[in-house]
Structure 1
């Protein structure tokens, strides 16, 4: 059987050796080259034509973000960033995702558990990368409906809640989806697959860039219009009801579908609190099936459900499963989802 090819780019030999050992435990993959800087990496890419590249977020001789921006237009491929969990490392990783990186793996802290977790995460994301949609950016550009130049009309929402689930490619998709949202929108709860330390910075970046208020969710926050609540990494986000009012609920119960936060946990909480019929739920790009069953349960309880279409997904996994089991009422390009939310939310 033909093996999938990967190259490792990291200035530390010890880190390259560790990543190589991890990858070579999977018989479907082979490491065809290692590079200590972007210039060596460029030559390797031309010579070896790898399927995937792992890239350290801190690169010598050339900024990693600059390298991605120069590389990907000429050699489109999934790039998995190897990130530290420091504030600086997290910030660079989020910039890399904006620049077109496929996904990221956080470096282990050194404990046996963290080593195993990082290895499994990398192997999982290598296999996810085989489903990478190379044309999603072009499809996204084509799907944008020409605007007349006038501002979006303010919407009088009748729905009380918007629920969103996303994974691989979701950081960029969420920004694009929410760029036209404003203070008239009902509370928006988001379960994006992300580790600890990343979500607070991600929420802060979105808050600085968007018209709508974005926060990392805390426990028992009253839900307010015009605010997006991002599930904190390594915690589940749910909605709960007290005396008729809606609040966040943050828990650290077992992972669901291998994830914490889990999209299914968020979606099911709206059903359990009898607010599905006054909600809109959206499932975005991502690998696997998290959120599909929850979305179907929402739909069966009166929720209006939307799914991102294949052409604009980085990975058409979660929306695909949801669509195939009949959970998606409207499947749309990413650029049209916000307008659809306005349309159906006011009815």
Structure 2
């Protein structure tokens, strides 16, 4: 059996050895090279032609982001970043995702539980990297790609809520989608698979760049038009009704589908509150099946549902499962989703 091939790039020999042990604990994978810096990595890639690379965000000699930007146009491949969970680590990792990294694993803090979790996370993402869409090397769209100017028409929204779920490739996909959103849109609630520290920073970056207000959601915030609420890392986001108004609901109940925040929890909270009939549910790029069952529940209660199509996904996992389950009303390319929201928002 031919094994899938990886190179491991980290300046610490002990860390490289640990990652190699993790990878090769799966008989389907083989580490065919190790590098202590980007220059060694570049030579290894040319020589060995690996399928996947793991890369430390902090590298000597060349900034990891610069390395990615130079490497990926020449050698498109899934790159899994190893990141610390600090604010600085989160910031660099978000830049790496924008530069085209496939996904990331947060470094363990040394406890047996954190080591096991990091190992399982890496093996899961290696497996999913085999479905990587090389044509979408920069997070489901090339950042230098410009779409033609669309007609800027205002929509008289009858739909009161927009609910979005995303995972691998989602940070860049969300950035592109929200760039076309304005203050006339209903409140938008997002469950993006991300750890603590990352979600607040991601929200801050989007808020600085976009026309709408973006924030990491807090519990019992009244939902307002022209506002985007991102589920905080390690918490679930949902909708709750208090009196005649609708608010965010932040909980830390068990993980669902292995995730907290979970897309299913967000979607199911809308289905439970019987507000599906006045909502639009959207599922974007991501691995696994989180969100598919919840989206089907929404659709069955009158929600209009949209799935990102295969061609524009970094990983056509979550949208594929949802589509095959019959949960997707419209399947469209990423750059057409906002037009579809406007089209169906007044229905």
Contact 1:137–1:312 (CA under 8 A) maintained in structure 2:
no
Question: How far is the alpha carbon of 1:156 from its aligned partner?
Answer: 2.0
Partner of 1:275: 275
| Cα distance per residue 1:152-179 (max 9 Å; x no partner) | 1222211110000000000000000110
Partner of 1:45: 45
Compared CA separation, residues 14 and 145, structure 1 to 2 (3 A):
closer
- Separation in structure 2 between the aligned mates of residue 341 and residue 305 of structure 1, nearest angstrom: 9
Partner of 2:214: 214
Which residue, out of 149, 154, 174, partners 1:147? 149
- TM-score, normalisation: structure 2: 0.97
- Separation in structure 1 between the aligned mates of residue 329 and residue 137 of structure 2, nearest angstrom: 24
Matched, 1:301 2:296: no
SS of equivalent to 1:146: coil
Give the aligned CA root-mean-square deviation in angstroms: 1.6
| Cα distance per residue 1:54-83 (max 9 Å; x no partner) | 000011111111100000000000000000
Number of residue equivalences: 345
Partner of 1:166: 166
Question: How far is the alpha carbon of 1:86 from its aligned partner?
Answer: 1.2
| Cα distance per residue 1:185-224 (max 9 Å; x no partner) | 1110000011111100001011111111100011111111
Contact 2:100–2:137 (CA under 8 A) maintained in structure 1:
no
Compared CA separation, residues 25 and 326, structure 1 to 2 (3 A):
same
Contact 2:57–2:82 (CA under 8 A) maintained in structure 1:
yes
| Cα distance per residue 1:130-159 (max 9 Å; x no partner) | 110111359857x986326x6x12222111
SS of equivalent to 1:125: helix
Question: How far is the alpha carbon of 1:24 from its aligned partner?
Answer: 1.3
Contact 2:65–2:95 (CA under 8 A) maintained in structure 1:
yes
Partner of 1:319: 319
Contact 1:308–1:332 (CA under 8 A) maintained in structure 2:
yes
Partner of 2:202: 202
Partner of 1:108: 108
Partner of 2:126: 126
- TM-score, normalisation: structure 1: 0.97
SS of equivalent to 1:74: coil
Partner of 1:252: 252
Contact 1:140–1:333 (CA under 8 A) maintained in structure 2:
no
Partner of 1:97: 97
| Cα distance per residue 1:257-314 (max 9 Å; x no partner) | 1111111110011111010000000000011111111111101100000000000000
Unaligned runs of 5+ in 2: none
SS of equivalent to 2:297: helix
- Separation in structure 2 between the aligned mates of residue 127 and residue 157 of structure 1, nearest angstrom: 41
Contact 2:141–2:173 (CA under 8 A) maintained in structure 1:
no
List structure 1 segments (4+ residues) > 6 angstroms apart after TM superposition: none
Matched, 1:345 2:345: yes
Contact 2:215–2:229 (CA under 8 A) maintained in structure 1:
yes
SS of equivalent to 1:85: coil
